Amino acid sequence: MTNERHIATPTRTKELLKKYDFSFKKSLGQNFLIDTNILRNIIHHAGVTENTGAIEIGPGMGALTEQLAIAADKVLAFEIDQRLLPILEDTLSPYDNVKVVNEDILKADVQQEMQQYFGDQKIKIVANLPYYITTPILMNLLTRNLPISSITVMIQKEVADRMAAAPNTKSYGSLSLAIQYYTEAAVVMTVPKTAFMPQPNVDSAVLHLELRKEPPVHVEDEKFFFDLIQASFGQRRKTLRNNLNRQFASRFSKEELEDIMSAAGIDGTRRGESLTMAEFASLANTFTARG
C-alpha cells in the first residue's frame, strides 16, 4: 500500500468522511489524526515491535490502527461508536491481525478480551484518547492490574504535563502522584493542532507510562493515602496545615494534627505541591498508625 493511500492523510480522511457521510460527534471527543509520520513516531516511542501485542482505544477510522497493524504482531481495538464499524471494516480490510471490539473500554471485560486474543503475549496500550475522558480511562486501566507493560497515549498537553510533573512545579498535583504511583511517566513528544481533523482547541502531547512492578512507596492504606493527597491539594495556595485542618477537623484536633505532621517530619507551613510522594507516604502512614 503506498503512503498516499494510508488513512492518516487529509485527502484519504476527507474521502472516507464523504463516502460514509460521517459527522464528528463532539460528545465523543472525536479528532482524527491526519499525519502518518506522527503516528509512526508514537509507535516508536511506545516500543512496539513485531513481537508486541497492542491495544488501542478509540480507533476512529483506523489511522493509528493501520500503523499498529504494520508494526505489531496483533492489534485489539475498542471502539464505542457503532457508526465507525463499517468504516473500520473497510479501512482495515488489508490487515488480518486486527480485531475491533464495539465496546466502551470503561465497561468492557478487557482482561478476558486480552486473554482470548493475545494469550500470554507482551501487551502495550497505544491510543489517541478522547480528551474529555482521559483521566478516568487511564486510572481505570492502571487500577485493574492488567498484564500490560506500558501505555503510550496522545492527550491534551496540559494534562500530560500534569501527569508527568515533578514536585515544586505549577503542574504538580494529586493527578501527578496518582499516575506516578503506578507508572514512570514522561512526555515524549508534542503534537500540533494541524495534525488533526477537525483541529482541537488545545495543544496535544504524547505521554509514555511505563508500568511499575510495584509502587515506589509503601503505604499501609492506599485509599487513605490518595484521600490525604487530595486533601493536601484542596486549596493549592493554602498551607498543608490549613488544608488538613479543613479536611480532618472532625477526626483530629489541631494539636493532634500538628503532632502527626511533626512525627512524620513534615513542616505544616509547607504547601502540598512541595511534598514528594515519599513524604506523602510517610504522612499517610503516620495518620494510619494513629487511627
Q: Is 227 annotated as a binding residue?
A: no
Residue 217 is assigned to a structural domain of this protein: no
Q: Given pLDDT bands bounded at 50, 70 and 90, which one contains residue 2?
A: very low
Q: Is the dihedral of CA 188, 62, 72, 34 positive or negative?
A: negative
Same domain, 198 and 228: no
Q: Given pLDDT bands bounded at 50, 70 and 90, which one contains residue 26?
A: low
Residue 203 is assigned to a structural domain of this protein: yes
Q: Is 128 annotated as a binding residue?
A: yes
Q: Is 103 annotated as a binding residue?
A: no
**pLDDT digits over 212-227, tens only?**
999 999 999 999 999 9
Same domain, 111 and 240: no
**pLDDT digits over 189-215, tens only?**
999 999 998 888 889 999 999 999 999
Q: Given pLDDT bands bounded at 50, 70 and 90, which one contains residue 28?
A: low
Same domain, 204 and 81: yes
Residue 146 is assigned to a structural domain of this protein: yes
Same domain, 179 and 269: no
What CATH number does the domain containing 240 carry?
Answer: 1.10.8.100
Same domain, 202 and 282: no
Same domain, 167 and 58: yes
Give percent of the chain above pLDDT 70: 96
Mean pLDDT for the stretch of residues 166-171: 96
Same domain, 194 and 72: yes
Residue 216 is assigned to a structural domain of this protein: no
Which residue range is the domain that position 91 belongs to? 3-211
**pLDDT digits over 246-272, tens only?**
999 999 999 999 999 999 999 999 999
Q: DSSP for 65-133?
A: HHHHHHHSSEEEEE---GGGHHHHHHHTTT-SSEEEE-S-TTTS-HHHHHHHHHTT--EEEEEE--GGG
Residues with Cβ within 8 Å of residue 270, at least 6 apart in sequence: 239, 240
- What distance in Å separates the CA atoms of residue 133 and residue 154, rounded to the nearest whole number? 12
Average pLDDT, the chain: 93
Phi, psi of 190 (to 5 degrees): -105, 155
Q: Is 31 annotated as a binding residue?
A: yes
Same domain, 260 and 130: no
